[in-house]
Amino acid sequence: MTDRVAIVTGGGSGIGLATTTRLAEDGFTVAVLDMAPEAAAGPAALTVRCDVSAEPDVTAAVAAVLDQFGRIDVLVNNAGITGSRQAARCHETPVDEWDKVQAVNVRGPFLCSRAVLPSMIARRSGHIITIASVAGLVAFPGRCAYTASKGAALMLTRSIAVDYAADGIRANAVCPGMVYTPMTSWRLDQPDLLAAVEDRIPMGRVAAPPEIADAVALLASGRLGYMTGHPLVVDGGMAAL
């Protein structure tokens, strides 16, 4: 049996890797579920190759974590995609692009939450933290599929918070603004596009992954024990405009 155990999906890069590192530093035993988990092998105690949109993968991965560590205290639903450049305005978005984004960003958190909840219910303790986005609160122009998926992820969080509070389980979301990660670098590495993004952020810069990991770590610490169903916005003031 191990003290506090956390699962981080998409923990092999970007916000997920920063979160894995931070939670390990805070004393968590961290299991990473990722399509390419090798990058997280350093800070992670266990890495499992997992497609979060595939039920058999998720079921097997969660079972592996429970078999090795005996418990799951925190699930961080971090795995996500923005979709290709084709996933733009509604009438321009191919159906297969829409489906890919929803599969990872909505079906993924649903499957992972569904898989960990029985063990959390049995222990009457647990915290599910989903990385949503400011795009779940305000629409990102030209990103129909992504915006819709993050709105759904936020409402999934609230649904879990309402349904499982009596079981001692909390659910919260972290809503980042623009963060420099491998997923966003194609855009933010272009000076003109970076300038356009920064013009929309009162703090005048995009975030770094460890800044989002700080928010996850705060929630995971248990210090905000009365908070559930809440979107914690970490966006440099972007949504305040």
> Mean of the per-residue pLDDT values for the chain?
95
Over range 214-224, report the average pLDDT: 97
In this predicted structure, the answer to whether residue 101 has a pLDDT above a threshold of 50 is yes
pLDDT score for 1:
46
pLDDT score for 39:
85
- Helix-then-strand count for the chain, H and E: 8, 7
Question: Dihedral sign, CA of 58, 61, 66, 67?
Answer: positive
pLDDT tens digits, one per residue of 88-100: 999 999 999 999 9
Q: Is 236 left (phi over 0), alpha (psi -120 to 50) or beta?
A: left
In this predicted structure, the answer to whether residue 191 has a pLDDT above a threshold of 80 is yes
Instruction: Give the model's confidence band at 2: pLDDT under 50 very low, under 70 low, under 90 confident, else very high.
Output: low
Q: Six-digit token pair at 18? A: 């920063």
Q: Six-digit token pair at 55? A: 């039920």
What CA–CA distances, in Å, run from 201 to 132, 176, 209, 213? Answer: 18, 12, 16, 19
Q: Where are the domains of the chain?
A: 5-178+208-236
pLDDT tens digits, one per residue of 17-51: 999 999 999 999 999 999 998 888 889 999 999 99
pLDDT tens digits, one per residue of 103-122: 999 999 999 999 999 999 99
Tell me if 14 sits within 8 A of 182, measured CB to CB: yes
Question: How far is CA 108 from its chain centroid?
Answer: 10
In this predicted structure, the answer to whether residue 189 has a pLDDT above a threshold of 80 is yes
Q: What percent of the chain has pLDDT over 90?
A: 90
The verdict on whether 226 is a catalytic residue reads: no
In this predicted structure, the answer to whether residue 15 has a pLDDT above a threshold of 80 is yes
Q: Give the pairing of strands 74-77 and 231-234.
A: unpaired
Contacts 24+ apart (CB under 8 A), 56-59: 58/33, 58/108, 58/111, 58/112, 58/115, 59/115
Name which residue leads in pLDDT, 32 or 186: 32
Q: Which of 146, 164, 180, 226 is catalytic?
A: 146
Report domain 5-178+208-236's class: alpha beta
Over range 51-80, report the average pLDDT: 98
Give dist(CA 96, CA 112) in Å, integer: 22
Q: Give the global pTM.
A: 0.96
